[in-house]
């Protein structure tokens, strides 16, 4: 299925919103809950699947649902269609600080592999599949486990990458990356893992036990702030407080002191 041709505009810097402009009859698909606002004339419907195979039967739908359950994503995707007679816009918001990256799938060879929660939205006709890692080492120690997302199509897809984005072009070289900082890569890149140096470095180096090793010819997208790293820092900060709600430097503690004196 040929992808719909959608136009877009990005707003913001670290907490971005993307507006997709739809011609009459055009559709964009998105993860459930990603929509921020939409203009009158756009209808939306939750469906089991990305709509890239309109002739698929019940079995294909159930298979797709099962794969999405494995990734921890919603079993439904939302389809936004312009039912009006003029151009309309629908906007989607990034879930945490980072950048929304427009991907022209035709220029990338029609395929992109990314971390399982990177996909934000795409033109109808884009296929969102599960990419299982065959090697046990990659599966157990590769950060995203056995499961990555594979996007296929010839239109525009939009992925969200945490923090600052670094784009690396590999021409046969090898690149070693923290497993959580690998966001996406194009076809032609092979992905494996290796030990992070000596035993002492693995235990005390603070860089994790394993590194992702990328080789081949293609493009690699790296992120400076994996969501897992952000979540860990938030949990650490909350646990340090233990009694953070009563601490002198906390907002709740300050309020408690104010009202306690009355």
| Domain-embedded: residue 240 | no
How far apart, in Å, are the Cα atoms of 22 and each of 7, 61, 159? 7, 26, 19
Per-residue model confidence as pLDDT tens digits over 210-245: 788 899 999 999 999 877 777 777 887 887 655 444
| Domain-embedded: residue 65 | yes
| pLDDT > 70? residue 255 | no
Tokens of 244: 């953070």
| Residue 219 per-residue DSSP state | E
* Cβ–Cβ < 8 Å for 44, 83: no
Per-residue model confidence as pLDDT tens digits over 43-98: 999 887 777 766 555 556 566 666 656 656 667 889 999 999 999 999 999 888 89
**CA dist., res. 161 & res. 51, Å (int):** 24
| Domain-embedded: residue 192 | yes
| Domain-embedded: residue 250 | no
Tell me which residue of 122, 93, 82 sits closest to 35, measured CA to CA: 93
| Domain-embedded: residue 262 | no
Residues with Cβ < 8 Å from 12, sequence gap 6 or more?
Answer: none
- The rounded Cα 143 to chain-centroid distance in angstroms is 14
Domain assignment of residue 19, given as a range: 7-234
Over the chain, what is the mean pLDDT?
Answer: 79
| Domain-embedded: residue 47 | yes
| Domain-embedded: residue 179 | yes
What residues pair up with 93 in beta bridges, in sequence order? 17
| pLDDT class of 247 with cuts at 50, 70, 90 | very low
The total number of structural domains in the chain stands at 1
| pLDDT class of 193 with cuts at 50, 70, 90 | confident
Within 74-227, strands assigned E span 77-82, 88-93, 98-104, 111-114, 119-123, 127-132, 147-152, 156-162, 165-178, 182-186, 189-195, 210-223
pLDDT reported for residue 131:
76
CATH number at residue 119: 3.60.160.10
List, in sequence order, the alpha helices (H) in the chain: 58-71, 136-141, 199-204, 227-241, 251-260
pLDDT reported for residue 61:
59
What residues pair up with 78 in beta bridges, in sequence order? 30, 46
Tell me which residue of 117, 110, 129, 137 sits closest to 183, measured CA to CA: 117
**CA dist., res. 119 & res. 32, Å (int):** 11
**CA dist., res. 218 & res. 223, Å (int):** 17
């Amino acid at each position: 299925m040929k992808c719909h041709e959608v136009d877009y505009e990005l707003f913001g810097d670290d907490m971005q919103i993307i507006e997709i402009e739809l011609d009459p009859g055009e559709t964009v698909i998105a993860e459930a809950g990603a929509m921020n606002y939409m203009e009158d004339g756009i209808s939306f419907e939750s469906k089991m699947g990305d709509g890239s195979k309109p002739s698929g039967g019940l079995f294909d739908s159930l298979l797709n649902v099962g794969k999405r359950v494995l990734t921890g994503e919603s079993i439904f995707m939302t389809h936004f269609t312009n039912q009006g007679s003029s151009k309309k816009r629908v906007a989607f918001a990034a879930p945490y600080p980072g950048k929304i990256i427009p991907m022209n799938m035709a220029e990338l060879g029609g395929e992109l592999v990314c971390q399982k929660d990177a996909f934000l939205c795409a033109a109808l006709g884009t296929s969102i599949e599960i990419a299982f890692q065959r090697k046990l080492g990659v599966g157990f120690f590769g950060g995203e486990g056995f499961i990555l997302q594979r996007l296929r199509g010839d239109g525009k897809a939009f992925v969200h990458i945490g923090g600052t984005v670094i784009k690396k072009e590999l021409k046969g070289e090898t690149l070693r990356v923290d497993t959580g900082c690998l966001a996406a890569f194009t076809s032609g890149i092979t992905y494996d893992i290796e030990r992070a140096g000596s035993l002492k470095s693995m235990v005390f180096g603070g860089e994790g036990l394993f590194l992702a090793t990328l080789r081949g010819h293609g493009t690699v997208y790296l992120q400076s702030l994996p969501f897992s790293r952000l979540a860990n820092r938030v949990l650490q900060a909350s646990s340090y407080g233990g009694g953070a709600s009563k601490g002198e430097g906390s907002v709740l503690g300050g309020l408690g002191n104010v009202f306690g004196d009355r």
